[in-house]
Structure 1
Amino acid sequence: MAFHGGDIETAAEQTGRTRWLDFSANISPLGVPDSVKQAIVQAAEHLSRYPDPYQRKLRRALAETHRVLPEQIVCGNGGADIIFRTLRCLRPRRALLPVPCFSEYEEALTEAGCRVTRWYLPEPFQITRSLCEALENGCYDCLVLCNPNNPTGSVIEPGLLESILETAKQKQMFVLMDECFYDMTEDPEEQNSCIRRIDAFPNLLVVRSLTKRYAIPGLRLGYGICGDVRRIECIRTTGQPWPVNTLAAEAACAALNDQAYQMQFREFLQQARPDLQQGLTQLGFQVWDSHANFLFFRAKGMSHLDLELQEFGILLRHCDTYPGLNADYYRAAVRLPEENAKLLSGLKSCLSAGACGGAQCLKGEV
């Protein structure tokens, strides 16, 4: 099983500590919207009935939100569920996978019997036009992309993305595009989202999730959007027949209608993300610009920074499990200002104590 952030139970077992400030999971610190809580309570009255196996109400709500057809949407038990079911359905033979990236892609491809070729993102961990050359020169039938990328937070330049999609289309290559963090980018109308391209590229499927923005990872709700309705139907019939439970379906509909929460989250992120980035930079870390609700940074020579922070009750995502990254890369979620201040204070204490070489190590002086 892949390693993830947000595993508070394991941290508690290892340390005996039960209260944590979790920067390892990229979840909205604003909490579950009241509208979602109310929808869950009301939906509980219907738990004696089976959920709708076709998710009709939910798909209509998603179709209205994204301005697509309900028939172009498949829903599942989180974004990872859509990824696994899609690849089980399509059974690609050889895939190109830019890394570092979300671990479930390679796990799902391997489970589907696909041979995976890793394409290592060149510094500063950004998709470049050389990816098109790799697609043109290789014999791939599947490409998996993440935009914004996890864990780097980088986005693909729109013109380059169009070239990649055109190349894949010409090569009759399926493209699985993970946009689970896209609603956090500075593109509120989503003009550059691949959802706008599904009709032009029927070989493209876009994966989305409501987990991060609405702080509902415990409910599990994800969906895929594709212009090819036959492919959507194939994915829908792959896996168990009730992938979305009643509570999750009603919660999702309420979240999609909560414009006030969406605005509040966007305003929060636009302020908190640059503030945290500035704080990390001032401490001497190398920090990458992010288009999601997390920051990717390097603490050169500090391979146990996550363990040091546990002494302060703070969980940080160590990125050494991502292909292409070593032990001094980390990812930190963007949380509330007072919580971000605690993270910065904990990091400063680690540096002052000389953990793993301290500030001098960061500056390359040891």
Structure 2
Amino acid sequence: MQAIILAAGMGKRLKDLTAGNTKCMVKVNGVTLIERMLSQLDSQQLSKIVIVVGYEGNKLINYISTLNVVTTIEFIENPIYDKTNNIYSLALAKEKLLEDDTLLLESDLIFEDAVLDTLVKDPRETLALVDKYEGWMDGTVVKIGEDDSIKEFVPGKKFRFEDIPFYYKTVNIYKFSRHFSKTHYVPFLEAYSMALGNNEYYEQVLRVITMLDEPEIKAKRLDGQLWYEIDDIQDLDIASSMFVPDEEEKLKLLQVRYGGYWRYPKLKDFCYLVNPYFPPQKLIDEIKANTEKILTQYPSGASVNSLLAAKNFGVHQEHIVVGNGAAELIKDVLSLFSGNIGFIRPTFEEYPNRCQPDKCIVYIPDPVDFTYNSSDLITFFDSKNLQMLVLINPDNPSGNYINKSELLKLCNWTGQKDIRLLIDESFCDFAEEQDNTLITEEILREYPHLLVVKSISKSYGIPGARLGILASGDEEFIRTIKNGLTIWNINSFGEFYMQIAEKYKSSYKLALDKFKDERKYLWDALREIHDICVFPSQANFFMIELKGDMTSAKLAIILLIKYDIFIKDLSNKIHCDGRQFIRVSIRNHEDNEAFIQALRQVMDHE
């Protein structure tokens, strides 16, 4: 068996990175794509490797000559690479296709060794490597039958989004038998090029062949093996984090992305916190049905969005403001306070990070169980000179919860002390207590010093819409926040969600009931695993202490590398005599089962 690599393209979308280098000489974590690919092919003990070069071809040839590759390498030049597409490059190598069974690869791919192994070891002679379509993929897709027959090649211009459940993406790695090349591919390649010219793609030939009664070629489905196609600098960034050789660095690169994990197709995100059972499909379908008008028209200004929020939360428009996520409001609110601010730690660090360190007055609850109540806070802060007290309820990451009656005692105390009280109730909808919100007109009017923040992203499972609210009976304060916002701080998708959300209140209640059942299941399952301690939580996550020799950092790495599970390592948040803590979100039942099985296996081997 031999390999043919198509490497003539210019890679214009990589801009400066390919200004003087061919695309396959771009480096991922310090190693060029071509060096990595040649090393992987070299291990397959092939008869030869044929590389079709074009743009910066001499530079590529000279570079390859410096690599330690044992397999014989031959080069074919495409002199008109800038006027043709890859069908012409492959046509230049057609005689080579007739000499041996062939692995055909495009040079802009990066993949783990298992990708090549699964193709080579499959006894079937002619295969197209495919993977279940994901939103980050681009280019040719196929529809395949239960017997792995390729029913249809679908080029990008004929892609139909409604057919996504049936699509598989071609990985652009193929295995052609010599017989298939002789009887099918080369004859059709010649005919296709003659009829339609050289500015086409070689997949088009396969598309025609699959229409035959006996096309010979089948699909080979990947099963979780990693690969990525690098067309632009964002692809390069993603690939760098996926294929970083150092496991600790891989975790770090993932952590600093703060989202966008849909581009990691196998990843289960137990780090970021959303409602796993809302929004319902009908709500999603309603947004889909209106996507065109939402996308192509301006959103309303801040005053209209405040009106929508007032409608949804049952308060006056003058008492509520909508932010681009709660994070925008947190930043703007904290910027207005220069005095001492009280915090409970461990906590959501976005709040203290917005405060001068010397102005942070920190209460640390009993580290045995990290619980506290309003009396504990009043006792500790009573002698402190506070301008504001910040409380997250339920707290993050401990899950500690103070019920509504106790919160009102805190409202009374702070009012008497002339202290602003900011309560973040982003997770309160997940608590067992009913009717626990402080966002009511009666409470806001009674306690004008009270500020209530709520992240709609977390409670309602729509982090991509970037919505958060701030409510207060202090109309002047709310006006100040509104005046500091840009006129279009909320996009049309967020506005449309607020426009229709009220219709789905009953669905939301059912989702919360379902969630609470799932939280009980996960709580019970976690408590059966040895060498961990699970802290009670009224939120949509659990904080877990590791009791054995396992560290939180090590566990986070193992779960990511071995199980594609991403958790929150709390080692930088909780400093407590070397104790080790993690936080895991509560997801749907299938994902929670996968997490339980993975955690059990890891802890059983320690």
Letter aligned with residue 118 of structure 1: V
Shift of 1:165: 1.7
Q: Which residue of 2 aligns with 1:295?
A: 542
Which letter does structure 1 place at the counterpart of 2:559? L
- Tell me the secondary structure at the aligned position of residue 93 of structure 1: coil
Counterpart of 2:567 in structure 1 is: 316
After superposition, residues 7-26 of structure 1 pair within 5 angstroms as 12=242, 14=244, 18-26=265-273
Q: Give the letter for the 2:569 counterpart.
A: H
Aligned pair in 2 of structure 1 residues 32, 160: CA closer, same or farther (>3 Å)? Answer: closer
Give the equivalent residue in structure 2 for 1:307. 557
1:213 Cα deviation from its structure 2 partner: 3.0
Kindly provide the CA deviation profile for residues 64-107 of structure 1, in whole angstroms up to 9, marking residues without a partner as x: 3332101100101001111111122x223111111111010011
Whether 2:521 is the aligned partner of 1:275: answer yes
Shift of 1:176: 1.3
Are residue 115 (structure 1) and residue 363 (structure 2) matched?
Answer: no
Structure 2 counterpart of 1:65 = 312
Which of 184, 207, 213 is the equivalent residue of 2:430?
Answer: 184
Q: Which amino acid aligns with 1:306?
A: A
Equivalent runs, 1:137-148 vs 2, <5 Å: 137-148=383-394
Using structure 1 for the length normalisation, give the TM-score: 0.85
Partner-residue secondary structure (3-state), 1:117: strand
CA contact (8 A) 2:451 2:470 kept: yes
The answer to whether the 8 Å contact 1:297/1:329 transfers is yes
Cα deviation, residue 115, structure 1: 1.2
Secondary structure of residue in 2 paired with 1:134: helix
Residue of structure 1 in register with 2:402 after alignment: 156
What does 1:1-366 correspond to in 2, within 5 Å? 12=242, 14=244, 18-30=265-277, 32-33=279-280, 34-39=282-287, 41-42=289-290, 44-56=292-304, 58-88=305-335, 90-110=336-356, 115-122=359-366, 123-128=368-373, 129-190=375-436, 193=438, 195=440, 197-284=443-530, 285-301=532-548, 302-303=550-551, 304-310=554-560, 311-324=562-575, 328-354=580-606
**Alpha-carbon separation, structure 1, partners of 2:566 and 2:584:** 9
Query: Residues of 2 paired with 1:31 and 1:64: CA distance?
Result: 20
- The one-letter code of the counterpart of 1:268 is K
Letter in 2 for 1:249: E
Cα deviation per residue 1:39-70 (whole Å; 9 max; x = unaligned)?
365254154543222242x4334323332101
Query: Is the 8 Å Cα contact of residues 298 and 329 (structure 1) preserved in structure 2?
Result: yes
User: What CA deviation, in whole Å up to 9, does each residue of 1:321-354 have, x standing for no partner?
Assistant: 2245566111111112221111111011111221
1:330 partner letter:
I
Structure 2: state its 5+ residue gaps: 1-236, 251-263
Q: Residue 389 of structure 2 aligns to a residue in which SS?
A: strand
- Structure 2: which amino acid aligns with 1:85? D
Q: How many angstroms does 1:319 deviate by?
A: 1.4
Asked if the contact 2:302–2:489 (Cα under 8 Å) also holds between the matched residues in 1, the reply is no
In 2, the alpha carbon distance for the partners of 1:323 and 1:340 equals: 25
What is the aligned partner in structure 2 of residue 362 from structure 1?
none
Indicate the percent of aligned positions where both proteins have the same amino acid.
24
- Tell me if the contact between 2:341 and 2:390 (Cα under 8 Å) persists in the aligned partners: yes
Larger Rg: 2
Structure 1 residue identity aligned to 2:605: A
Structure 2 length-normalised TM: 0.53
Equivalents in 2 of 1:182, 1:168: separation in Å? Answer: 21
Residues 1:213 and 1:184: Cα distance change in structure 2 (over 3 Å): same
Provide closer, same or farther for how the CA distance between residues 236 and 323 of structure 1 changes in structure 2, counting only shifts above 3 A. farther
Residue aligned with 1:271, SS: helix
Aligned-residue offset at 1:269:
1.0
Shift of 1:32: 4.2
The amino acid across from 2:586 in the alignment is V
Contact 1:93–1:114 (CA under 8 A) maintained in structure 2: no
Using a 3 Å threshold, how does the CA distance of structure 1 residues 114 and 32 change in structure 2: closer, same or farther?
farther
Q: How far 1:203 moved relative to its partner?
A: 0.8
- Contact 2:277 2:515 (C-alpha < 8 Å) held by counterparts: no
Give yes or no for contact 2:312–2:501 (8 Å, CA) kept in 1: no
How far off its partner does 1:127 sit? 2.4
How many residues get paired? 342
Pair 47,85 (structure 1): closer, same or farther in 2 beyond 3 Å: same
Is this contact kept in 1: 2:320–2:471, CA < 8 A? Answer: yes
- Is the CA contact 2:279–2:508 (under 8 Å) kept in the aligned structure 1? no
Does the CA contact (< 8 Å) of 1:210 and 1:252 recur in 2? no
- Which structure has more relative contact order (CA 8 Å, sep 6+)? It is 1
Which whole-Å CA distance do the structure 2 matches of 1:139 and 1:323 have between them?
26
Q: How well do the aligned residues superpose, as a CA RMSD in angstroms?
A: 2.5
